[in-house]
Structure 1
Amino acid sequence: MMPTLRTIATAAAVILFSSAPLLADDAQPTAHEVETFVTRMTAHVAAVGTDKAFADFSDQKGPWVKGELYGFCHTLEGISVAHGGNPALLGKNVLGFKDPDGVLINVLVVDKAKGDGKGWVEYKWPNPITKKVAPKRVYVEKVAEKFVCGSGYYVQ
């Protein structure tokens, strides 16, 4: 059976994006790097399946975690299925998480995926590097019609 164009394109994207480094050590990611990272995440899911990809994204010693750049994925019902920043969240419903201003951050994330399929959301969150609450921009994409995956950066 001949591979489909989508399969070939996905494999090419995985190879292309996997060959580029995520970030220099301790560098703050840019908006472009975050979008590229999330695109790599969605390509990885397509290439290896959700179970393997979500385990990879949650491995804090793996290539999907670099300083403050890490990936997360939730079901569209708000259950955490991958989290490179805090694997203890796996299996938990995260829709009730609020930022210091009372914004339901994961409701924003899920609604963006359900509504637009992908895009940016903003809220305030503790920076794991500086330990201070800071504005955070998160880019998310709907994945496999059942999940939302994303990553973000802190606004300096």
Structure 2
Amino acid sequence: MKLIASLFAALVLFASSSPAPAADKGTKPEAVAMVKKAVDAIKANGADKAYALFAKTDGGFRDRDLYVLVYDMSGTCLAHGANPKLVGKNNLEAQDADGVYYVKDRLALAKTNASFWQDYKYTDPVTKKIEPKSTYCEKLNQTIVCVGIYK
């Protein structure tokens, strides 16, 4: 009986120390849906009002690790739901932990695709760790509207 109680206690301890469930992270369908919602907000309210909503934690465009980012075709960040310090900065030369020029790559993909997925590494706003990221983007006029998921 003591052995069963010990095994049960070990199982409970193991279960409580395991990583957070996948439900705590955004999914590909949720990222696509948020991009479409963001594009609709830009079209309905204009860029300035929509970008202000993207920056607010309670603006309807933040969900767990999901947030909206918008770049223009020169590599300047127009909106960033997780890091407002990037707004207004040209990030064309930004590299991820593996040396990938992810903004340059994003611009190149946007020149030939109306929508696309892009993989690189970026700091997860929830865990604060550099994680593999897959970002869904749609081109809207001369901008790229994106939401990424952390793997």
The answer as to 2:148 corresponding to 1:152 is yes
Give 2:144's aligned amino acid.
V
Q: CA deviation at 1:128?
A: 1.8
Q: CA deviation at 1:131?
A: 2.1
| Aligned residues of 1:119 and 1:139 also touching (Cα < 8 A) | yes
Residue segments in structure 1 that go unaligned for 5+ positions in a row: 1-25
Work out the CA distance in 1 between the residues paired with 2:29 and 2:110.
Answer: 19
Structure showing greater radius of gyration is 2
3-state SS of 2:24 partner: coil
Match of 2:46 in 1: 49
How many residue pairs match? The answer is 129
Give 2:138's aligned amino acid.
E
> Given the alignment, which residue of 57, 60, 75 partners 2:57?
60
Work out the CA distance in 2 between the residues paired with 1:112 and 1:125.
Answer: 18
Match of 2:80 in 1: 83
| Aligned residues of 1:112 and 1:140 also touching (Cα < 8 A) | no
Work out the CA distance in 2 between the residues paired with 1:105 and 1:112.
Answer: 10
Q: CA deviation at 1:61?
A: 3.5
Cα deviation per residue 1:21-65 (whole Å; 9 max; x = unaligned)?
xxxxx7211101101110111111111111111111122332212
| Aligned residues of 1:122 and 1:138 also touching (Cα < 8 A) | yes
Work out the CA distance in 2 between the residues paired with 1:31 and 1:137.
Answer: 8
| Aligned residues of 2:26 and 2:64 also touching (Cα < 8 A) | no
Give 1:96's aligned amino acid.
E
Match of 2:28 in 1: 31
Work out the CA distance in 2 between the residues paired with 1:117 and 1:142.
Answer: 5
3-state SS of 2:132 partner: strand
Match of 1:123 in 2: 120
Work out the CA distance in 2 between the residues paired with 1:131 and 1:52.
Answer: 28
Q: CA deviation at 1:67?
A: 2.3
Calculate the TM-score normalised by the size of structure 1: 0.78
Calculate the TM-score normalised by the size of structure 2: 0.80
| Aligned residues of 2:80 and 2:87 also touching (Cα < 8 A) | yes
Question: 57-66 vs 121-130, which deviates more?
Answer: 57-66
Work out the CA distance in 1 between the residues paired with 2:106 and 2:56.
Answer: 22
